[in-house]
């Protein structure tokens, strides 16, 4: 801290001045004063200068110390206020982690029951039916926990965590075949990214307004999360609604290609991706640092699905961005 540094410099200056004066005193200790100076009580010039310098330096140190204490007090005050403001947000994020634990327990129980059902006899089915009821209870508990956490995240304005929570509860509903709930959650998650109601139907408006800065404005992670959401909507939900499916895959292609517009030497024209090999996408951002936020395996699967759907719709060139991402993830993250 600069204030502390300035204070220490002045203290060092005072110490050095005191040492110099003490050396002068030691050197002139045995030197006798003349009679006039003794009678008049004259103080040596060196002592007068030292006392003046010492007083000036002490006053400066006290002033600097006061400034330092004031800055320290302000920092503590800001730190206290910041902790008070973020306490609720941190608690909401902790609750999201608890939701994930509920979901993991449900997933483990469901997987265990599925394995037992495959190799069980008719006599065991009654016991498995009871266990299936317990599994349903875990699912309901997870959904209720997510609902409370989502409301807290909305109130705290934690949009990035809210995107994840809505995405995860949509996955949970889809597994339990509550397809309308899953679609609603995934669409809400997508709307939260772009802060626009019914963003899928307005994808042209969103992409045109942001043009080449989609990834810059929303971030690489949120663009890839958006691609995952759009793939699930297009591939799993809109298979019988070709217009909505087409909008979903075209919006996803815009999000994916915007990543390549962030910095050179990435191609700025989609056709150039056909001969391009991606080495890194701003690796310092660590976009796959947390599998809870963005799972590279899920991205790989959804990139493949989106590529095939784009090719089926005769948008071969638009599929190149996803094919490039697939190669990158396969070589860099899937071991």
Taking Cα atoms as reference points, which of 268, 171, 187, 198 lies closest to residue 226?
187
> What is the reported pLDDT for 268?
67
Judge contact between 167 and 225, C-beta under 8 A: yes
Helices (H), 28-44: 35-40
Chain center to CA of 18? 54
> What is the reported pLDDT for 129?
61
> What is the reported pLDDT for 247?
93
Q: What is the pLDDT of residues 301-329, one digit of tens each?
A: 999 999 999 999 999 999 988 998 888 88
Distance CA 318, CA 293 (A): 26
Report in angstroms the alpha-carbon separations of 318 from 8, 93, 239, 284, 304: 63, 36, 20, 27, 13
Q: How many C-beta neighbours within 10 Å does residue 18 have?
A: 14
Taking Cα atoms as reference points, which of 186, 183, 191 lies closest to residue 167?
186
> What is the reported pLDDT for 226?
94
Give first-to-last CA distance, the chain, whole Å.
45
DSSP state of 293: T
Taking Cα atoms as reference points, which of 170, 153, 171 lies closest to residue 162?
153
DSSP state of 268: S
Judge contact between 190 and 230, C-beta under 8 A: yes
> What is the reported pLDDT for 105?
73
> What is the reported pLDDT for 81?
46
What parts of the chain have a pLDDT lower than 70? 1-3, 28-44, 67, 69-90, 106, 109-110, 112-136, 210-212, 263-268, 275, 277, 279-285, 334-335
Judge contact between 253 and 310, C-beta under 8 A: yes
Q: What is the pLDDT of residues 60-73, one digit of tens each?
A: 777 777 767 666 65
Helices (H), 197-315: 203-210, 214-218, 220-231, 242-259, 296-312
Q: How many C-beta neighbours within 10 Å does residue 320 have?
A: 24
Report in angstroms the alpha-carbon separations of 78 from 64, 75, 211, 298: 21, 5, 39, 41
């Amino acid at each position: 801290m600069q204030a502390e540094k300035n204070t220490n410099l002045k203290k060092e200056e005072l110490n050095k001045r005191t040492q110099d004066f003490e050396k002068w005193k030691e050197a002139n200790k045995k030197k006798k004063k003349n009679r006039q100076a003794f009678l008049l009580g004259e103080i040596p010039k060196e002592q007068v200068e030292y006392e003046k310098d010492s007083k000036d330096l002490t006053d400066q140190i006290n002033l600097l110390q006061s400034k330092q204490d004031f800055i320290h007090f302000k920092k503590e005050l800001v730190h206290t206020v910041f902790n008070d403001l973020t306490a609720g947000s941190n608690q909401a994020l902790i609750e999201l982690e608890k939701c994930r634990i509920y979901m993991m327990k449900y997933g483990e129980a469901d997987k265990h029951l599925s394995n037992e059902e495959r190799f069980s006899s008719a006599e065991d089915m009654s016991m498995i039916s009871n266990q299936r009821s317990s599994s349903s209870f875990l699912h309901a508990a997870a959904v209720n926990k997510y609902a409370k956490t989502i409301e807290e995240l909305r109130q705290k304005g934690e949009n990035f965590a809210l995107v994840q929570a809505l995405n995860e509860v949509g996955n949970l509903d889809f597994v339990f075949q509550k397809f309308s709930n899953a679609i609603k959650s995934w669409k809400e998650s997508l709307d939260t990214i772009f802060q626009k109601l019914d963003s899928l139907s307005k994808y042209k408006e969103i992409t045109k307004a942001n043009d080449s800065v989609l990834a810059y404005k929303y971030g690489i992670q949120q663009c890839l999360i958006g691609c995952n959401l759009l793939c699930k909507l297009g591939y799993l939900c809109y298979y019988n609604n070709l217009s909505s499916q087409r909008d979903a895959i075209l919006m996803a292609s815009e999000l994916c290609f915007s990543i390549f517009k962030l910095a050179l030497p990435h191609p700025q024209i989609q056709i150039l991706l056909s001969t391009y090999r991606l080495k890194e996408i701003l690796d310092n951002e660590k976009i796959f640092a947390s599998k809870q936020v963005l799972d590279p395996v899920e991205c790989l699967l959804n990139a493949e699905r989106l590529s095939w759907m784009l090719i089926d719709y005769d948008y071969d060139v638009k599929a190149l961005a996803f094919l490039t991402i697939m190669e990158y993830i396969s070589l860099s993250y899937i071991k």
